[in-house]
Chains A and B, each alone.
Chain A
Amino acid sequence: MLSRLWYVVLALTVGGALAGAFLNKSAASREAEFQLEEQLRRDRIEAELWMRLDARLRLDALASIAVEPEVRQTLRSSSGRFGTPPGATRRRLSQKLNTLNSKLEEGKGDMVFAVDAEGEVVATLDKNAMGAERLDKMPLVRDALRGFMRDDVWVYNGEVFRMAARPVFDGGRYVGAVVHGMAVGDDLARRLGSKLPNASVVFFFRDRLIGTHVGGAAAPSSAELKSGLGQAQNQADDVSGSVEIGERTRAIASPIRGEAAHAQVGYIIGRKGSTVGLGGLFANTFKEDVASLPWLVVIGVPLLLLLLGLFLLYLEHDKAVAILRKTSESLAKNQLGSLPEGELRRHYRKIAENFNVALRAGVGFKEDMAERASVDLDHLLDTTRDSTDSGYFGFGEEAPTAKQVALDDEPAQNTASPHMTPIKAAPAGPSTAALPDQAAVTAPPKGTPTARPDTSPTARPKRSASSRPKRAPSSWPARAPSSRQPAAATVRNSEEHFTPAPDDPPTRPNAILDDYAGYDDPEENTQVKHVPQSLLEASAPAVQGEEVHFREVFEQFVATQKDCGAPVNGLTFDKFVRKLHAAREQVMKRHDAASVRFTVYVKEGRAALKASPVKQ
């Protein structure tokens, strides 16, 4: 019970550990997602700072153009009452702008305007563009004409430019402004992306990507970012608005800082989160964390629990199994008569109890019963040959009946009867090996200590074949074919020549059924006296249905006798049956019973029989 409880505790512990692991995984995933959002917010701040710095650098670089004397003079001549300068002057200024612009290197503008004080474009990088273009209503230009340095982002003929403008003054007054623009494209995205490792950056104009940079394999692709463009745009005004655009992929969008934001120009920064599996729970573990673990608890408690579990298992199972194993070995060696029930507990005690009951009842394998009986009989017969013990029936002490005499004197040719087969069919064994031929089988071997010599006083006189009565054909069912059967039958017919063993109690044949005390008490043991052969002969046809019962009783008797450690040498089924028939007839006659049932029990350390009349 304790071990089962231990299993419950173990299962609960494992379940709790798994639940904890999965909860930790969920918490770790949530934490990773939170960190990803935080990272994206930081990315956006960093991007804003970088673009602010970039705008400042462009403004500063533009000073080299604004202070150029030719630019100042041309714009002064164009401003105010002096009117627009002639075309040649404007073309020269245009060439000058190109020259100055090329010196800006990385800050080289994709478009540069020189604007007079009225906001009219005097020169551009395109020297052939001599139209009357004005920019006076553009806030960037207006602020520059008022004396401010300013940046902006424009959508200019379908392209997006980062703009910067600064005033041009000459002679103590403002004469115009220089406007500088750099296209927003992949180059800008790359430069920005280099500041954001493992992040992808795209610039968009409405639903079109105008600049992309993918920050490596760990970063989302531009296609992924484009797929989440609409979703990200909706969240662009939300300060904390990062959106999930794919599996473990989030993006944060921001409108670009400038007038182009009105035209839905912005940028998106995307990142992929890390996978958090059960194994990933330890991915972010530092050595310090491992070192700070209470190892005494982490290892000691499970070890203690393991030992406790093993101890409980030993108490409940291993100990009992060991006892059972040891006692069963002793049982097999006949050193013990039963399993020690008292030393066992619960189920094992029940098993031992049931096993002991089965042992006491002599229960065996039913399918092996016939074979075992045959083997036992063979063993008995084999050992009988070498033993001087004639068995409990002690037929040697009894006066032979006429039937017995007839059987004993049956000539050797009778061995060819249906119950006897030639010895050569028998398997090799001590008995059969000593019988080289059929004559040797039918005649006891001379010179053997257990064989009765023909001249011994106890030898029965030989009868002539004619004096022997004819045996009625038996109606009993034939025995199962056995290789040992011929030898057994042969020996059985010759065993009555054996001399009883000196230690065999002379009264033992009578003692077999000597507990059959009286007819008034059918439950009392039955004592079987001499059974006339005539009764056996007469009853044989009528009791063929009891053959099975007799055989079972015989087998139980032999088994019980063996269990008791008593010898069974000389005990044969035929002799046994004759006794049973005699006893049965007596009991039936006395009790006017229809039949008799025999049971085997142990009395004084030996097997005994009890006859019980059965009245219909």
Chain B
Amino acid sequence: MLRFRNWMMLGAGCAAALLVAFGGASAESVEGSVQGSKSKQASSDSSKQDYYWKVWNGALPEQRDKGDHSDVLAVLTGKFTGPPIGCKFGFRGGGLDPSTVAARSGTTVRIENRDAFTHELSVEGLAGFTPLESGPGKVRAIPVPAGGPWALGDRIYGHVDGHLHSMRELVACATVTPAGRFRFDKVPPGPYSLRILRGSEQVAIRRVTVPASKTLKVDPLTMSTSRRK
């Protein structure tokens, strides 16, 4: 009797696993938003003065920096063994977009150069990674071991700043618009943890269960105070 019950539980587990593994066929979307202060764009104001002149034009008033969430990354983690969904990163506009990068531990993350000029990505403290010049359209692959996060940079452009997170159960990634919204597509139904990464920190987390054949709308997440520089 006990042996039969064990066999039944093993079968249910396998069925659940199969459901998760092959849930792409019935993948759904997850929408949400974050609340909290926007990050200011990298500017020379906060660093040493690396210009001779920065003067107001005298005609129109200074336009305020509205800020954005280019340093915020929403990720789903859970029991999913497929390739991470939507985790594409790269240079654009002269900087990392987004600047927070997540990768599954033991895999390789690809950083594509979508600019018209070369970048030289560097990962601080990551052994075995050598900064190399990557021209426009080129992709730089970073093997991600367990651990982290690591600081990302550019040996040519000092304003480039980012962080690389190594996550053991990374399922999907989504960028956050300047308005604070994010959306995961093609996520298999199942239980996940919705995490908001900002810089080197995780600033929000929520457990969600993606239902089948239905878009999950997540209530706004409030980002905790970031201690990032």
Residues of A bordering B, CB below 8 Å = 51-52, 55-56, 59, 119, 121, 129, 131, 133-143, 145-153, 155-158, 166-167, 169, 172-174, 257-263
Contact = CB atoms under 8 A, between A and B. Distances in A.
B62 A146 contact: yes
B156 A150 contact: no
Contacts of A167: 57, 60
Given A137-B70, A141-B94, A169-B59, 10 more contacts: A52-B52, A52-B53, A133-B116, A135-B94, A138-B93, A149-B53, A152-B51, A258-B50, A262-B156, A263-B157
Contacts of B135: 157
Contacts of A141: 94
Given A138-B159, A152-B51, A158-B118, A147 B57 contact: yes
A489 B156 CA distance: 123
A85 B193 CA distance: 43
Interface stretch (B14-22, B36-44, B78-86, B103-111): B36-44
Given A134-B115, A139-B44, A55 B50 contact: no
A174 B61 CA distance: 10
A261 B50 contact: yes
B67 to A, nearest CB: 11
B41 A142 contact: yes
Nearest to B116: A133
A142 B51 contact: no
Contact of A145 (B54, B63, B156): B63
A475 to B, nearest CB: 120
Contacts of B24: none
B2 interface: no
Interface in B1-57: 41-44, 49-57
30 contacts: A55-B52, A56-B52, A133-B116, A134-B92, A135-B93, A135-B94, A136-B94, A137-B41, A137-B92, A137-B97, A139-B43, A142-B65, A147-B57, A147-B63, A148-B56, A149-B54, A149-B55, A149-B56, A150-B53, A150-B54, A150-B55, A151-B52, A151-B53, A152-B51, A153-B50, A167-B57, A169-B60, A172-B60, A259-B157, A263-B156
Contacts of B49: 257
A147 B61 contact: yes
Contacts of A55: 51-53
Given A148-B62, A149-B55, A150-B53, A137 B95 contact: yes
Nearest to A174: B63
A434 to B, nearest CB: 123
B63 A156 contact: no
Contact of B65 (A52, A135, A146, A259): A146
A138 B63 contact: no
Interface centre among B61, B65, B116, B118, by most chain A C-beta atoms within 10 angstroms, is B116
B60 A143 contact: no
Contacts of B52: 51-52, 55-56, 151, 257
Contacts of A158: 118
A262 B44 CA distance: 12
B117 interface: yes
B206 interface: no
B105 to A, nearest CB: 29
Given A137-B94, A139-B43, A258-B50, A146 B155 contact: no
Contacts of A143: 43-44, 54
Interface residues of B, number: 36
Contact of A131 (B50, B116, B158, B159): B116
Given A137-B42, A259-B158, A147 B56 contact: yes
A119 B51 CA distance: 20
B115 A133 contact: yes
A167 B63 CA distance: 11
B187 to A, nearest CB: 29
Contacts of B93: 119, 134-138
Nearest to A131: B116
A392 B155 CA distance: 126
Interface of B: 41-44, 49-57, 59-65, 70, 92-95, 97, 115-118, 135, 155-159
Contacts of A150: 51, 53-55
Contact of A157 (B50, B60, B61, B118): B118
Given A143-B43, A151-B53, A259 B159 contact: yes
A143 B97 CA distance: 19
A153 B63 CA distance: 23
B228 to A, nearest CB: 17
Given A56-B52, A143-B54, A174 B60 contact: yes
A395 B157 CA distance: 135
A609 B54 CA distance: 126
B50 A147 contact: no
A312 B25 CA distance: 124
B157 A134 contact: no
| 8 cross-chain pairs, A with B, having the tightest CB-CB distances, nearest first | A262-B158, A137-B95, A134-B93, A138-B94, A137-B94, A137-B93, A52-B52, A136-B93
Contact of B157 (A51, A56, A149, A262): A262
A234 B2 CA distance: 75
Contacts of B155: 262-263
A259 B60 contact: no
A451 B157 CA distance: 136
A153 B157 CA distance: 10
Contacts of B157: 138, 155, 259, 262-263
A158 to B, nearest CB: 7
Contacts of A149: 53-57
A173 B60 contact: yes
Contacts of A151: 51-54
Nearest to B133: A158
A179 to B, nearest CB: 11
Contacts of B57: 147-149, 166-167, 169
A147 B94 contact: no
B53 A59 contact: yes
A110 B156 CA distance: 20
A155 B118 CA distance: 9
Contacts of B95: 137-138
Contacts of B42: 137, 139, 142
A141 B44 CA distance: 11
A156 B118 CA distance: 7
Contacts of B60: 147, 167, 169, 172-174
A153 B55 CA distance: 17
A149 to B, nearest CB: 5
A91 B143 CA distance: 42
Given A138-B94, A155-B156, A259 B63 contact: no
